[in-house]
Structure 1
């Protein structure tokens, strides 16, 4: 079924607010009765190989942090500690990565796997067999690999990418805004956000004349959603100081949206990095949960 989400990939690299991304992960896992496939990308496999195993006490983890020789090693161990505390606090069943899927349907579960820093392709490959990937918000002072990971998954997974907000949200997916400009990227995002839209209290399709490309209009999107049993409205917004991204976030805020779905990089990434663009603005400024597809 289209609305089935059972495997959520959760790359954890120490960037952003782990409390925020974990709170969104818990919401999604409970909502869809899904498995959380957490992955830590370390710097050296020999440094962090022990992190994936069970049976490590909190005291042992603290000792590992104290004896860590590199910042990357300390970060990976701290993530392991936060992950253990998270699943313990919320009563989530932990399974070993090798046993994922052996007891499907038994409620929310989680696993933790560790990759060394050279296995970036491996993380992207895993995302292709995840129903979605959830990443922390890009922090200005976070690990520079966070942006590389985000964009690799966005461009190479073929699956939706969800970006957690900077701080733990009160709600996620109750009021959904969908950015629409008629492009294939927007079309994919529209389809990917259906599982959340089915459970939302309100859905609004946001368009802007300066954002729209050749393709179906917002009214046709509303009709499409209606065919899926989803009631939605359409609203046109204006750019703020010629910035479409700022206008989009303003419109989402006025709708009281707690989740935004959008296509990413209709223009090339290089052009957006140099000249600015909607995707870049959302990545840098969004304060709500964002689903992106490309």
Structure 2
């Protein structure tokens, strides 16, 4: 099921970019795909509206110049990190539309594009014509659950997103856990994980009475995978002393999983952010790549 060919990889200069680049490379080599790295520079003209808030034209002009200089500095830093990574790993760098119909399995190509605009909009539009988007985990101290770009991809691209771990992964997609609760979001994640699950060494479906919503049960998800030739075992996870999200990640660790897939925000995003929620806990605490879909 070799359908993962274009992997969109937004790079904005976070210290965890290597984790995202490595995750992208693992998957690109697995499927013989292409990493489409993208850096979005902020438009310095966005500062202009401040002129109506008591700032003189000269002050706004200086702010625009400073923003432009900072944007150029960050763009150069991101490009240097990309060039270093591709050189170090022997990745052929091509144009944004590589002249091929798939690399041999075990190899990958990459491209780099810089665009100007609002990051969450530009990345989302590009994600719509990508097989998957991989985002770097935010720097320590930031909450990934508050990432505007991540939420824009999840809610507006129609495509899956993989949140890379903070630490550089050694493997990804060999031992897969599927979080199941019967929702439409979980169903979308199940469909999107099929290319990886078809080649995985082991697949486990995780379910819990505290996590289940109205919809098909975990055994039905296992039956669906079986029709695709994918054997998956089932495990009910539960620990009354822990939250569902913590239990879910503990079950992944017990399985030795190097990839988790789940639906994002079965409840409304606002409600999850206020109450906590499984999505938020996993986003902020997972130590493995997490594929999410809506």
- State whether structure 2 residue 81 is matched by structure 1 residue 82: yes
- Unaligned runs of 5+ residues in structure 1 are 47-66
**Within 5 Å, which residues of 2 pair with 1:145-294?**
147-239=147-239, 241-294=241-294
Give the RMSD, CA atoms, in angstroms: 2.3
Q: Is 1:92 aligned to residue 82 of structure 2?
A: no
Equivalent residue, structure 2, for 1:34 = 33
Which residue is equivalent to 1:130?
A: 130
Aligned to 1:7: 6
2:55 aligns with none
Question: What displacement does 1:76 show?
Answer: 2.3
Contact 1:206–1:237 (Cα < 8 Å) also in 2:
yes
For residue 229 of structure 1, give the secondary structure of its aligned residue in structure 2: coil
- Taking a change above 3 Å as real, the CA distance of residues 240 and 85 of structure 1, as seen in their structure-2 partners, is farther
Is 1:105 paired with 2:109? no
Q: Distance in 1 between matches of 2:68 and 2:127?
A: 31
**What do residues 108-161 of structure 1 show as CA deviations (whole Å, max 9, x unaligned)?**
211111122436423211101000001111323469998111111011111110
Question: Secondary structure of 1:133's match?
Answer: strand
Corresponding position of 1:59: none
C-alpha displacement of 1:215: 1.0
Deviation of 1:3 (Å): 4.0
- From the superposition, tell whether residues 43 and 240 of structure 1 become closer, same or farther in structure 2 (CA, over 3 Å): farther
Determine the C-alpha separation between the residues in 2 that align with 1:263 and 1:164: 16
- SS class of match (2:147): helix
Retained in 2: the 8 A contact 1:138–1:284? no
TM-score, normalised with respect to structure 2: 0.86
**Is the alpha carbon distance of 1:229 and 1:144 closer, same or farther for their aligned partners in structure 2, counting shifts above 3 Å?**
closer
Deviation for aligned residue 1:206? 0.2
Structure 2: where are the runs of 5+ without partners?
Answer: 46-65
Distance in 2 (alpha carbons) for counterparts of 1:160 and 1:290: 10
The two structures have a TM-score, normalised by structure 1, of 0.86
